[in-house]
Structure formats: structure tokens, C-alpha cells
Amino acid sequence: MTWTVHKFGGTSVADASCIRRVADIIGGQRRGNNLAVVVSAMKGVTDDLLGLVEKAAKQQPVEATLKTLRTRHEKANLELLGAAGAKSIMAEFDRDLADIESILKALALVRAASNRSRDLVSGYGEIWSARQIAAFFKHELGKGRDVMFLNARDVLVIEHTEMGPVTNWELSRPKLAAAIPSAFHGVAVITGFVASDKDGLPTTLGRNGSDYSASIFGALLDADEVHIWTDVDGVMSGDPRQVPEAKIIDEMSYSEAMELAYFGAKVIHPQTMAPAVGRGIPIWIRNTFNATHPGTKISASSGSRAAAVKGISGVDKVALVNLEGAGMIGVPGTADRLFGALRDAGVSVMLISQGSSEHSICFAVREEAAEQVRTVVERAFAVELSEGQVQRVGVTKGCAIVAVVGDDMAGMPGSAGRFFGTLGVAGINVRAIAQGASERNISAVIDAKDMTRAIRAVHSSFYLSAKTVSIGVLGPGLVGGTLLDQLARAAPTLRTKFNLDLRLRAIGGSK
């Protein structure tokens, strides 16, 4: 039986009415496949649980938070299952609560919170959420199909590595196979976020880890698709706070999604996708609160060839560092020493650019690391600086990186020209440029104050949005007034038919 994974985040399961909506969505899916429904804790519960651990370690009172958590879950359970149905769920809840209380007491005694206690306690939110959703599904969707609750801690084994948590597939696969009855046909509600380590100790995939859970279960179950249900319609071509014309991207490739995610499109974290990407499983971003919207499909293919550029994004609070000197020309190992020193200092580099003259290397880092970076680089090149082979280490704060992303830019002349041409016309100075050989991303470092303007200009130049024409009307009398009426009537047609966006910006009388 083929599986499809559906993941619902904390806002999607925040209360009883949200959970009903989730049941409607799941009930509306084709019946052919088995469905794995991976859920987060109700919104805010993980924060509360982690807060409890910190409070206990400081010997602060925890009763109020425990009570709020209980009331919240009880209310949802009562609304979903009625008094009789809620009873057994709440009995389990109270057993968990008693365990949590014992842990908190122990933490208060030793006045310290360990990672282990944090991992254990913070995972209860997903268990409560999945348990109540499974019970409700049984009640609501159970006619003619199986519904089961699956605690990921019983099947998912992970290891914590330098790159973050990774799945132990050899151990997890057989455990999962054993947990799901072979004749199973229906819906399995699975806890997101939580897992066990090799020794069977409870752990988690880290904050916001449920998307990662969904992708891992997609791979473990050989799912045909993974749907991430969240509270936006999909991945957008730009940040709507910066670009009001930004639109939902219907289809994009994994690489495009990763590039855009890095630059602030926070819909999905790159690492999260890896297990699905490895098996070519398409990931859909869907909106729980607007379920008829098709959302964004992220797969191996970039999809429509309508525009070379899929999205435009920007990050600010960036500092540009420039290392310059005649002594670097033709000297092997300069870059190695530079970036080696930064690695040793734990600084992540966002963008690198070196011209072929090798007279200078420049790179971008987060602004907050700027002073540390200056010290690190000055130390690494102390000898060259004192002997004048390296003239200076220049640090410019207050920068931003603007990037255009799209697989179809590869091998297509003119994308860079249009990008920089647009910035030029807008009067925006470009401080540094980087484009990798994949040609999937072109980035420019500019002054942070120009960022929003740059993103808007570039967005409209790549025809992601209609061409905007701003109009001012002076003299709204008989003629002017008629013109205003005509503009209002014509605007929608001009927009849809001719991709022309008329905006009335000012009206002035003779006074």
C-alpha cells in the first residue's frame, strides 16, 4: 500500500476547531493511499514545556503552567470527543503530567536542567497532540478504515551529529515495519519532533523539527508525496512585507527551494527536505486555512518555464569584509588561511567573491560577527599586515544581500544583465557580486537601506509582477473626475490582460 504523508504544524492544530479542520482535510483525501499524519504540539505548548524545565531549575513555581497546559488539552478533548471520549485520553494525560512533575521536582532539587530532561519534557506536546488527534480521527474518519496512534519515539532512531540530527535508517525501518500491522489500511497519526537515540533514550529533532519528521517518515514509508500543511498558501516569489506583488510559486525544484529558504523564505528549512530529496519525493507546501489552494510543489523539476527567476530575496544585517594587498597575488593558500581562521572561530561565511587579479578577497558575514571577524582576520594575517603585503582588512557594516534564484537562469544569457541593470536604473550601488557555477543564484551586496527598493525593482523587472505605472491627477474637476472613474474601471482589465498595474498615487487641486 502506498503512503502519503501530511504534516500539520502547531498553528494548524492549535485548538479543537483547528483539529476539526485537519480532520476535514484528511477526510477529503483520496481513499486509495494510506495516510501518515505527522503532527506538532498545539501552538505554544513546546515553549511552555521548555519554560517549565527552566523554571524548575531556578526553583520557580511551575503549577500555573502545568494547570494551563492541562486545561487547554482538556478543553480540546472535551470539544472533540465529549466527556466520555475525553476521559481515557485525560487519564493518560494525567499520568504524563505526574511524570513531568517528578522530573521537575528532581530538577528543582539539583537546581539544574540537563539537555536530557529538556528533550524528554519538551516532547510531550507532540504526544498529547497526536493522541488526541488520533482519538478524534477514529471517531470522525474511522468508519471503514483503520486509525492508529504512533509515537515516533518507538520507531524513529536518530543520531546527533555535527550536521544536526540524522536518521539511523537500518534501525528505524524494521521498527516502523513492526509497529504498523501488515494489513493496515487507513490513517496513522504520528508525533512530529520526537525520536529516540541509539540507546533508546528520548530525544528530539530540535526546534521546529516536525517538518523534518515528515520528510523522514516520507522516506521511511516510501511515500509518494509529503504535504506540509502550514498557515501560508505556499512559497512566495518574495517576502510579501517587502514586495506587495509577490505571488505564490506553483512549482519549484528542491535546489530553488533551498536557495530561497536560505534567503529568508522561512517556509521550509533546507535540512528538513534532505530525506525526501534523496528519494525524489515531492514536497507540497499547503495552507490548512485555505485548503482549496493547490500550494507550492517542490520536486526534482523546476516546473513551469514562465520566468527564469523563481524568487527574489534579501537578508540584511550583513557586513562585508575586504582583504586587500599586493602580497596576495599568485600566492597559493591565502583563501585557505583566511577561511580556515574563520572556521576555527566558528564564523559562517554568507558570500565570497574574489576577482581573478587575486588582489583582494571579499566576503560577507552576519553583522553581529563583524568585529570578531576583523580580529580573527587581522590575527591570521598579522605578519603580512605588519610587512605591508596585505594593506588592510576593511569591514563595512550596514549591508544587505539581495539574491535572485532560479534553475532556468543557467545557460540563459541576460539574467545577470537584467538584475544589475535594474539595480543601476534604481540608482542602487552594488558593492560585491557572487554567482556560483550552478548559475542558480546571483547575489549582490548592497547598502541595507536600499534593500526593499532593490527587491521591489528586481521583482517587477523579472515580470514576476505586473508593470507598475504610478499616476498623479491634478485637477479632479469634471474632466479629471471622469478620468479617475475611467482609471478605476479600466485598472482590473489592464492588470489581467496587459500586465499593467496602474496606481493612483496622488490627487491635487489647484489650491
Q: Which residues bind Mg ion (CB under 5 A)?
A: 9-10, 40, 208
* Residue 151 engages ligand ASP in binding (rule: CB under 6 A): no
* Nearest residue to 338 (alpha-carbon basis) of 368, 366, 367, 365: 365
Let me know: does 33 contact 19? Beta carbons within 8 Å: no
- Chain centroid, CA 194 distance in Å: 19
**Which SS3 state, helix, strand or coil, does residue 352 take?**
strand
Contact of residue 311 among Mg ion, ligand ASP, none (CB under 5-8 Å per partner type): none
Question: At its nearest, how many Å lie between Mg ion and the CB of residue 71?
Answer: 21
Interaction residues for ligand ASP, span 29-58 (CB under 6 A): 40-41, 46
Handedness of CA 169, 174, 176, 182 (dihedral sign): positive
* Residue 136 engages ligand ASP in binding (rule: CB under 6 A): no
**Residue with smaller CB distance to ligand ASP, 189 or 457:** 189
- Interface with ligand ASP (CB under 6 A), residue total 12
* Residue 124 engages ligand ASP in binding (rule: CB under 6 A): no
**Residue with smaller CB distance to ligand ASP, 10 or 325:** 10
DSSP state letters, 165-224: EEE-HHHHHHHHHHHS-TT--EEEEEESSEEE-TTS-EEE--TTTHHHHHHHHHHHTT-S
Question: At its nearest, how many Å lie between ligand ASP and the CB of residue 295?
Answer: 18
* Residue 441 engages ligand ASP in binding (rule: CB under 6 A): no
- Give, in degrees to the nearest 5, the angle at Cα 244 between 242 and 247: 105
Interaction residues for ligand ASP, span 331-360 (CB under 6 A): none
Question: At its nearest, how many Å lie between ligand ASP and the CB of residue 290?
Answer: 20
Question: At its nearest, how many Å lie between Mg ion and the CB of residue 209?
Answer: 9
Among 3, 4, 6, 9, binds ligand ASP (CB under 6 A): 9
Interaction residues for ligand ASP, span 462-501 (CB under 6 A): none
Let me know: does 213 contact 130? Beta carbons within 8 Å: no
Report the alpha-carbon distance of residue 450 to residue 456 in Å, rounded. 10
Report in angstroms the alpha-carbon separations of 225 from 17, 30, 133, 279, 304: 26, 13, 21, 11, 19
**Residue with smaller CB distance to ligand ASP, 47 or 439:** 47
Interaction residues for ligand ASP, span 172-231 (CB under 6 A): 192-193, 207-210
* Nearest residue to 192 (alpha-carbon basis) of 115, 101, 130, 259: 130
* Residue 125 engages ligand ASP in binding (rule: CB under 6 A): yes
Question: At its nearest, how many Å lie between Mg ion and the CB of residue 56?
Answer: 24
Helix (H) or strand (E) holding 131: helix 124-141
- Give, in degrees to the nearest 5, the angle at Cα 222 between 220 and 226: 90
Contact of residue 41 among ligand ASP, Mg ion, none (CB under 5-8 Å per partner type): ligand ASP
Report the alpha-carbon distance of residue 238 to residue 314 in Å, rounded. 9
Contact of residue 46 among Mg ion, ligand ASP, none (CB under 5-8 Å per partner type): ligand ASP
